[in-house]
Amino acid sequence: MFHKEGHKIIFTTLVIVVGSFFLIDGYITNEWIRKGLMLTILVVFLLILQFFRNPKRSTLSNDKQALSPVDGKVVVIEEVEENEVFKDKRIQVSVFMSPVNVHVTRYPISGNVTYSKYHPGKYLVAWHPKASLENERTTVVVENESFGKVLHRQIAGALAKRIVNYAIVDTKVNQGTDSGFIKFGSRVDLFLPLDADIKVELNQKVRGGESVIAEMK
C-alpha cells in the first residue's frame, strides 16, 4: 500500500522507467551496459516505491499515552524552552528518519487541533542544531484532558523539499491517524509536559502509531 502523496511521483517514475527501458533496448548494443543501466533504473524505482509505502499500524488508542509520530531512531530527549507556542519549558523527544524509513507522520495523541502552521525555510541536515528553527517545518498542537497540549513538529532535512500537513485547527483527530508526510525528509520533534513519564531511550528505534513515547503519571 502506497501513501497518496506518492501516487503522482510513482506514476511519473513508472512512465520514465518504461520509456528508458525501450530506449536502452533500442540504442544500447553492449549487453552488459544495457543490463547495467536497466538494473540501475529499476533499483531507483524500487527505492521510490519503498519510500512512499504506507503500512497499516495497529494503534491501541490510549489517552494517557503519547505514541511516536513517525518511524525512526530517538536522537534527542531533553528539557528545552519551546518558544513558538508554549513559551515555557517542555520535554523534547526527537525522532530521526533515514531515507529507508516510512515517512508518514501520525498524531501522537487524540484530541482537538489547537494550532497548525507551516514555516518555509532552509534544508540543513536534520541533526544540525539550527534545523528545528531554520528549516522548512510545520508545527501542530493537539490537546486532550490527559496531556493538555502536545506539540509535534515536522522538520525537513537536506533531501526534503516539501512537507505536507493535514492538521486543521478546531478539528478532532484520532491517535495514530495521518497528520502529514515529509517527502524525502527527516525529523519530527515532540514536545511534552514536564511531568510526562518518558518511555524511550536515546538511539531506540520506534514505530509511528505504535511505540509509546510517554505516559502521564
Residues assigned a catalytic role: 186
Contact 119, 106 (CB under 8 A): no
d(CA 206, CA 96): 10
Q: Is 146 left (phi over 0), alpha (psi -120 to 50) or beta?
A: alpha
3 state DSSP class of 123: coil
What cell was used for 93? Answer: 523527544
Give me the amino acid identity at 3. H
d(CA 216, CA 99): 32
Q: Where are the alpha helices (DSSP H) in 58-193?
A: 131-134
- Strands 162-165, 196-198: pairing is unpaired
Residue 120 phi/psi, 5° resolution? -70, 160
